[in-house]
Amino acid sequence: MRVLGVDPGLTRCGVGVVEGVAGRPLAMLGVGVVRTPADAEAGARLVAIEQGIEAWLDEHRPELVAVERVFAQHNVRTVMGTAQASAIAMLCAARRGIPVALHTPSEVKAAITGSGRADKAQVGAMVTRLLRLDAPPKPADAADALALAICHIWRAPALNRLQRAREAARPSRIPTTASVRKVTR
């Protein structure tokens, strides 16, 4: 499975591509940051993020895009920019028919380090070990994007089993009398 992880941000949007399957060594195929100038108009910044993500999608052709789920913060301005960048990543993937998975920061930290309260340094150190890198990716947004991709690869088998169980547990649709009459005429 090839996953593009996106750590959304309006100034720095981390992107990282990881390939592999759960239980096997993973490979980093690319990592970076899509940057926009803080003094640029919001619309221009969103276009730049879209162009950056589109370039990553063109180059790496992921099977899935994993995006950090935006959560409420005290700084509304920061959360708005993060939500906008997140929406751009989801839009770019949806336009191409690529499935999108959302993971919370604590889910990612727990999957990568074993603790949902791990700090950025711990996440960076584990990403470095798991991908057998010489040094942690810089800036932290890049390491976080790789962590998102790893988290999804590891969680995908369990999430798929849960989805199949939910679908199997749904009651089957019982035809109404009106629909039976239409069929028999």
The set of catalytic residues is 7, 68, 141
Q: Is 5 helix (H, G, I), strand (E, B) or coil?
A: strand
Choose among 48, 43, 54, 142: nearest CA to 91.
54
Give every CB contact of residue 133 below 8 A, 6+ residues apart in sequence: 28, 127
**Angstrom distances, CA of residue 47 to CA of 12, 79, 87, 109:** 14, 18, 12, 30
Q: Are 142 and 16 in contact (CB under 8 A)?
A: yes
Other C-beta atoms within 10 Å of 28: how many?
Answer: 20
| CB of 8 closer than 8 Å to CB of 82 | yes
Q: Which of 108, 161, 102, 146 is nearest to 2 (CA)?
A: 146
Report the alpha-carbon distance of residue 180 to residue 185 in Å, rounded. 9
Quickly list H helices, 3-41: none
